[in-house]
Amino acid sequence: MAEELSGLRPMNAMMGWTEGVESKNDAIELAKGFITRRFTALEASWYAVAPFMGGYLWEVHEGGPGKGYIGAAIEALSQNPSSKFWFPSADRAFQIMMRDGKPFGILLSKSESLPVINSDQPPLAMITKMQPAVRKGTGVFMTGAAMAGVGAIFLISSMAFYAVSANPGPSVRAVDFSSMPHAQWGQVQGTGVEEIVSKIEMKDGKWSVERRPHVVPGLRELRDEGAKAVQKARESIMPMPKVEEDAPPPAAPPAPLPAPAPAGIPGAQPGQQTPPAAPATAKPPVAPAAPAANLGANGKPLTAAELRRRARERATGTAHAPMPAPIPVPVDKGNKK
């Protein structure tokens, strides 16, 4: 019997019964607490719980394939409560029985386990699926891996479909944006007020504009009145008199160079030059006097721009008197600080 159990039994296997427990979650926490206190390999531990006789029967394993004896134990105790049943726990035997009308389990010593293990009574069958004490996320991982595989297959299939069947690149021709409808407004920009654009239509690859006349009542009379008003305004404007610009005054003749002083003149030094004596009848040139009408308030001749301005004022009747010269204000220099 010992040879048949090798490789299948867990390192440790325990079973217990807790009276008065009504919640399955409480029974699970009791089983996990026993695993935390007694077992070392927590990630390789398993548990199983089941309601039995007003309480919960729980089973814990350290190692093993994750199959429990709790289902077979409940069935055996229910059918034959006076008998003892056992299952292996490493190299020892764990007995489960009814004592005082309640389930009772005990882990036999090695010496007590040998007769039980070598007896003709077979152990309880491992028929109950157990839960891992520490969740490894295997289910979530498998679900995510399946979804990732489906997504990868869908991506590859869509890429293949696009490359083979749904690629419109070679069949798309170049777009001439100048032939688009919104680019044809330049054909109707010069439409006057006496026309209406009925439609813009493309025929045989060319755009055509269809217009119809638009009659505006009183438009012709309004245009005639405007032309008459413009003509009357032009006739009322007097022509501007032409003003000849003043010729610039002649330049003064250059001064004669001084002649060398003749010898024999008292006070003359060698190399000294004295101006020649002017003839008795010679007079300096006198510039012609400007007309009184061409003189300003300061007695100076007016410029060509000022003469044109005065002629324009006389023609339009807007001439005005010149402004008087400013009166000097005396300043007391003795009180200046």
Q: Which of 106, 110, 129, 133 is nearest to 39 (CA)?
A: 133
Beta-strand runs (E) in 100-194: 102-107, 128-129, 131-132
pLDDT mean over 3-19: 77
- Contacts of 16 by beta carbon, 8 Å cutoff, 6+ apart: 34, 57, 58, 59, 105
In this predicted structure, the answer to whether residue 118 has a pLDDT above a threshold of 60 is yes
Q: At 138, list the tokens.
A: 């295997």
Question: What's the mean pLDDT when you consider all of the chain?
Answer: 79
Per-residue pLDDT at 2: 43
Place of tokens 């531990």: 45
Q: Residue 222 is which amino acid?
A: L
- Contacts of 131 by beta carbon, 8 Å cutoff, 6+ apart: 46, 47, 48
Q: Which of 311, 309, 291 is nearest to 301 (CA)?
A: 291
In this predicted structure, the answer to whether residue 1 has a pLDDT above a threshold of 50 is no
Per-residue pLDDT at 255: 61
Of the listed ranges 123-127, 227-231, 300-304, the one predicted with least confidence: 300-304
DSSP 8-state class, residue 243: -
Instruction: Check: CB of residue 50 under 8 Å from CB of residue 71.
Output: yes
Place of tokens 């069947």: 165
Distance between CA atoms of 321 and 308, rounded to whole angstroms?
16
pLDDT mean over 170-189: 77
Q: Which pLDDT tens digit goes with each residue over 18-47?
A: 998 889 999 999 999 999 999 999 889 999
